């Protein structure tokens, strides 16, 4: 008879009097001593960050918390309009709208970088790798993840801000360098401005941290969830969801109404 697998988690355990997370007592070691960035780092990496790691990780997380009225914040606000009692549903609706166009491209960008360098020697020529990647995407007529932005042109201002912190904290390694070279090569080939966008920058830095592309989108989702709480609160104070609904219903159905 096949023996059942051991079911276990190494993250945390609790008793009626105590909660321990990665070896640290929640109430005595963490509460009032850790900020949100330190706690998030502990959860993701199962250890406490050093000063440089914490600064870089915090910068990477806060950069995606807010971006104004976007599909994700609209989904959240419209859910508040229809179900004001379901705050968790409104935030979930906004998170579910994150995908390959908005925010979610971070995992595809990280995959591109990590697969390109997985077997590359330390002295690999990054220019040649970037040229090959751009040519490959062009041959498949696919958009290069982490490159270009529909609104922020000629640069995504968040990218140089993140890369500046990466340089100052020692996280400007091969992944960051390759991401920048891919952006430059894509712009050269297309003969137009194609800046490295914020998800491309995050993908490169997360790769420097050793985060697998398979889970890196989770960092973006966690960051944006905080921003969506702000949109829920503002929607409750000064609603726009109902106005959007009424105006869109009027606009979308106008052509069906008979002329008077």
Helix/strand/coil (H, E, C) string of the chain? CCCCCCCCCCCEEEECCEEEECCEEHHHHHCCCCCHHHHHHHHHHCCCCCHHHHHHHHHHHHCCCCCCCCHHHHHHHHHHHHCCCCHHHHHHHHHHCCECCCECHHHHHHHHHHHHHCCCCCCCCHHHHHHHHHHHHHHCCCCCCCECCCCCCCCCCHHHHHHHHHHHHCCCCHHHHHHHHHHHHHHHHHCCCCCECHHHHHHHHHHHHCCCCCCCHHHHHHHHHHHHHHHHHHHHHCCCHHHHHHHHHHHHHHHHCCCC
Least confident of 99-103, 125-129, 211-215: 99-103
212 phi-psi bin (left φ>0, alpha ψ -120 to 50, beta other): beta
Q: What does the pLDDT read at residue 191?
A: 86
**Each residue of 174-208: pLDDT tens digit?**
999 999 999 999 999 988 888 899 999 999 999 99
Considering only CA atoms, which of 130, 104, 123, 134 is closest in space to residue 224?
104
Residue spans of the domains in the chain: they are 105-209
Mean pLDDT of 235-259: 89
Amino acid 150: pLDDT: 64
Higher local confidence (pLDDT), 256 or 227: 227
- Per residue in 128-147, pLDDT (tens digit) is 999 999 999 999 999 999 99
Q: What is the pLDDT of residue 23?
A: 96
Predicted pLDDT at 2 = 80
In this prediction, residue 101 carries a pLDDT of 74
**Which has the minimum average pLDDT: 26-35, 71-80, 137-146, 249-258?**
249-258
What CATH code is assigned to 105-209? 1.10.230.10
Q: What is the pLDDT of residue 94?
A: 96
Mean pLDDT of 65-78: 93
What pLDDT was estimated at residue 168? 98
């Amino acid at each position: 008879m096949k023996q059942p697998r051991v079911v276990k988690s190494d993250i945390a355990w609790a008793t009626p009097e105590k909660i321990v997370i990665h070896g640290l007592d929640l109430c005595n070691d963490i509460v009032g001593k850790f900020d949100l960035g330190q706690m998030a780092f502990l959860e993701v990496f199962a250890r406490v960050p050093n000063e440089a790691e914490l600064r870089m990780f915090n910068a990477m997380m806060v950069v995606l918390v807010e971006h104004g009225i976007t599909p994700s914040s609209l989904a959240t606000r419209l859910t508040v309009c229809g179900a004001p009692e379901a705050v968790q549903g409104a935030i979930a609706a906004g998170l579910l709208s994150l995908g390959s166009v908005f925010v979610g491209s971070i995992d595809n960008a990280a995959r591109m970088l990590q697969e390109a360098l997985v077997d590359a020697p330390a002295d690999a020529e990054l220019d040649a790798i970037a040229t090959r990647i751009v040519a490959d995407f062009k041959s498949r007529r696919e958009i290069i993840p982490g490159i270009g932005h529909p609104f922020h042109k000629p640069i995504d201002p968040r990218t140089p801000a993140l890369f500046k912190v990466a340089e100052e904290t020692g996280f400007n390694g091969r992944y960051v360098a390759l991401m920048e070279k891919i952006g430059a090569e894509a712009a050269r080939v297309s003969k137009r401005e194609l800046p490295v966008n914020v998800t491309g920058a995050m993908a490169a830095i997360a790769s420097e941290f050793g985060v697998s592309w398979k889970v890196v989108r989770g960092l973006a989702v966690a960051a944006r969830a905080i921003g969506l709480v702000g949109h829920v609160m503002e929607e409750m104070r000064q609603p726009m969801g109902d106005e959007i609904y009424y105006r869109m219903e009027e606009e979308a159905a106008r052509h069906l109404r008979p002329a008077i």
